[in-house]
Amino acid sequence: MFNLMPSFQLITFDLDNTLWDVTPTLIKAEQVLAQWIRSQHPDASTQYNLEAVQAIRDQLITSHPSLRHNLTELRKTTLKVFFQQTGSSETQATEHAKTSFEVFFEARNQVEYYPDALNCLTVLAKKYTLGALSNGNANIKKVGLNDVMSFHFNAESTGHAKPHRAMFDQALATQNYSPDQCLHIGDHPSEDILAAQQLGFHTLWINFDSKPWPLDQPPSAELTHWRDGETIIANLEGVPAQS
């Protein structure tokens, strides 16, 4: 009897710069946050600028290296320090940081998907288990992926950013699949593709700019537009994973 099951059952996705361009999203979120601080804390806002915030972030990462992989806590703590430096008490600064982070986070999740990305995900979700593995702190419910993604692990939840294997291991353990049953899709050659290859995953490199592959071992396939996603993934069925 022929086995009609696909060669992989699980597809994991990076998020930022794989399903959407994160740069304009973050720029807009920073603008929304700055405007909110100007309207709600006009005195403090005279000292609020990206250079000052970056200086605080750098100091925090130096003194608390674990914050590097926890973008939510890093931003909250940065905002708290900023408000303390501009005259708020610790209690006030904590509350201001909490509220201002919520403003930023709402805007940070107002993403604009690459053309055809959502359509492709909707089709794939009917055949495969889908999940997200991201170094960023996007919220899959807020970005509208809750109906197609079965799980989401990130650097905050696992304590490690890709290319560390923690996120991949977590996905395999919770979904009970072996690496050769899995496809990872992402834009970063080392953090996504190489990291997944080393564990035995199939890999699909997001390469919208048609750049040459920069590493030794190529991905299983490349994707230059999401309209071709379903076809390229179907063509990978039965192809041995690389490791």
Do 65 and 172 belong together in one domain?
no
Structural domain ending residue among the three candidates 84, 108, 132? 108
Domain span including residue 87? 24-108
- Domain assignment present for 200: yes
- Domain assignment present for 1: no
Q: What is the pLDDT of residues 53-107, one digit of tens each?
A: 999 999 999 999 989 999 999 999 999 999 999 999 999 999 999 999 999 999 9
**Nearest C-alpha neighbor of 120 from the set 199, 179, 196, 204:** 204
- Domain assignment present for 241: no
pLDDT the model gives residue 3: 40
Q: What is the pLDDT of residues 129-156, one digit of tens each?
A: 999 999 999 999 999 999 999 999 999 9
Do 65 and 15 belong together in one domain?
no
pLDDT the model gives residue 7: 76
The band of 2, judged by pLDDT with boundaries at 50, 70 and 90, is: very low
- Overall number of domains in the chain: 2
In SS3 terms, 91-143 reads as HHHHHHHHHHHHHHHHHHCCCCECCCHHHHHHHHCCCCEEEEEECCCCCCCCC
Do 140 and 210 belong together in one domain?
yes
Helix (H) or strand (E) holding 154: strand 151-154
Say which CATH number the domain at 39 has: 1.20.120.1600
Structural domain ending residue among the three candidates 74, 108, 142? 108
**Nearest C-alpha neighbor of 84 from the set 69, 95, 73, 70:** 95
Do 42 and 118 belong together in one domain?
no
The more confident residue out of 7 and 89 is: 89
Do 202 and 153 belong together in one domain?
yes
Q: What is the pLDDT of residues 225-242, one digit of tens each?
A: 999 999 999 999 866 555
